[in-house]
Amino acid sequence: MYNDRDNNYNTGGNYSSGYQGYDYGENRSYSYYETPRPKKKKTGKAIAIILGVFLIIGASAVGGYYVGNNFLSIGAGSTAIEEVAPPLIKEAEVKEPQVSQSGIESTQTVTAVVTDVTNVVEAVMPSVVSITNTSVITQSFWGQQFQSENQSSGSGIIVGENDTELLIVTNNHVISDSTELKVQFIDGSIASAKVKGTDANMDLAVIAVPLNSLETTTISNISIAVLGDSESLKVGEPAIAIGNALGYGQSVTTGVISALNRQIAMSEDGSTTGMLIQTDAAINPGNSGGALLNVRGEVVGINSNKIGGSTVEGMGYAIPISNAKPIIEELMSRETKDKVEEAKKGYLAISGLNVTSDVSAMYGMPEGVYVAQVYNGAAYEAGILKGDIITAFDGSSVKTMEDLQGYLEYYEIGETVMVTIQRPNAGGYIEQQLQVILGPPAQNP
């Protein structure tokens, strides 16, 4: 006879179970390892345990939402940033799930992890777009410089419209240095976009697509996202990320809000930091500019793969939407501009150095562009001095020389802009705003 703890196999043909109290029929013998114990009566405590298990199973069976006294109200919630009447683009609306309470008799709230986000995705996906940025990069090889065309991918969120344009928010680094921007919508259609405004400090940008360039079918298929309140987020609540991961098209990842108010460098040189949302929902290259959602389908953050880098897993970051709203509103109100031809481009005629966050902390200097030299040109005529630190250009924050050069791509010679500087004064700095008439590049720098 072969024996182990779980089963007995009798060579005489009879089957014996090692599990106590189970009779497998009249033709099968059974044996016990010990004398059977008398059955105990079910007590009230046992009934309560069974009822508790039943309640948990019931909660899981209705889709994973909160049930009991507190029901999730999943709907449009707030309105879009700017009301335009009558809007061509509908606002995203999430239908409230039908939660069955059959068999649940307890009044105690039961919670479970949200696993089914199909309602949210179905409602919000039409408001998320894919962005392709075509730019020209310069490389050096054996002392020679070569230029080549480069394409990168990102995501965006439809946040509003005006009389002539569809407005989309994304990350500034997604659209920086672009020579051409293309936006792909949920129906697969593609349209050209232009930069409306950028804020390098918050890594935000708004781009515009002319409404007359969109087909009627596209307009009927897309929607305007509902912006939520990131101030009301709690650590541990579900999070949903939608974006153009790896440039393959829209995809969905889920997780939770891992932490709030994380101060993380928002640029590679560490010059910009922000208070960010941390999530374990996967944020991959191409997700930048996409939506981080709550279970009501409201945008609570703008994802950024650039923040934090790729050295760790399960730690993605998003710009809190409550912090971004005022900036988005201001960028949406700007005039849409085209890049100007090189021969017409305006200049300040200065050379500058970046004051990063590390330099700022070490020497007590404002972050921005330190004016190292002023040449005979626009800056000199406006009164900008060596030692000034440029912190804003025509209302857009300036953190690096690259930011400043990027803004100048859209301004012609002769245009008047407001430049904000910080000027050394009595051991500190005072802010001044100077009107500058842009001119040609310095002839003898």
**Cα–Cα distance measured from residue 58 to residue 110, given in angstroms and rounded to the nearest whole number:** 9
H-only helix segments in 170-293: 172-175, 216-221
CA 235 distance to own-chain centroid: 17
Residue 10: which residues within 8 A CB-CB, separation 6 or more?
1, 16, 29
Q: Encoding tokens for residue 232?
A: 């009301």
**Cα maximum dimension of the chain:** 110
- Cα first-last separation, the chain: 99
Query: 263 with 273: CB under 8 angstroms?
Result: yes
**Cα–Cα distance measured from residue 440 to residue 445, given in angstroms and rounded to the nearest whole number:** 12
Burial of residue 188 (CB within 10 Å: 0-12, 13-18, 19+) is exposed
* Residues with catalytic function: 173, 203, 288
CA 97, 102, 104, 105 torsion: positive or negative?
A: positive
The secondary structure of 343-399 as a DSSP string is GGB-B--EEEEEE-HHHHHHHT--SEEEEEEE-TTHHHHHT--TT-EEEEETTEE--
Q: Which residue has the tokens 């033709």?
A: 27
Residue 260: enclosing H or E segment and its boundaries? strand 251-265
**Cα–Cα distance measured from residue 325 to residue 82, given in angstroms and rounded to the nearest whole number:** 11
Query: 407 with 376: CB under 8 angstroms?
Result: no
Q: Which residue has the tokens 């009107």?
A: 435
